[in-house]
Chains A and B, each alone.
Chain A
């Protein structure tokens, strides 16, 4: 059981280049998330998915696209990278949750992160 894995671990891009970050989880979680972490700002939600084939915008979605073609994978794409997208990107996953009752199934588990530098 590897938990949540992310590839690549580190990448350098030039402005305008595109790339895709891959997140994979082997815990059969319904929910998956992409966050970015910048100094002094904690983690901010980019996009998330509540199940295979569905995606939704988070707090900072501009400049990113996502896809969830398989339950275990969640892809984050940058079509035209900008220096402002230099950050550390974290993927997370969690079980389905009950909207009205908090339960231990809501807990999110994080991957090790991808460091992206856009020059």
Chain B
């Protein structure tokens, strides 16, 4: 079946540092989405990407839809303590979402 490989699995960074995570797939997707999940909560959409090559920003977050449509990355600049959580990439095709395994981010003040 379709799979997404998300890396890294976890990150421990200092407040103020920049963060980068990415997802790759053997399948082509029409849409790439990035979600953040706080403990005990459902995933919340951060950024949605709809076209190959698209680069989109949301505040300190920047994400890109890879040219091959098989990958995407998410960057967080100048991290702050509230950035802590699990970040998921998801590829969407035919109304279904395929999720990556998640990147757990820890930010040390």
Contact = CB atoms under 8 A, between A and B. Distances in A.
Interface residues on B, range: 20 to 34
A104 B50 contact: yes
A90 B42 contact: yes
B45 interface: yes
Interface string B8-33: 01000000000000000000001101
Q: Give the size range of A's interface with the partner.
A: 20 to 34
A50 B92 CA distance: 15
Contacts, number: 65
Contact of A106 (B9, B88, B92): B92
B95 A42 contact: no
Contacts of A110: 35, 42-44
A48 B48 contact: no
Nearest to B88: A42
B40 interface: yes
Interface in A24-50: 31, 33, 40-45, 48, 50
B99 interface: yes
B48 A104 contact: yes
A111 B95 contact: no
Contacts of A109: 45
Contact of A107 (B30, B33, B88): B33
B42 A112 contact: yes
6 contacts: A31-B95, A42-B4, A42-B101, A97-B95, A106-B95, A107-B48
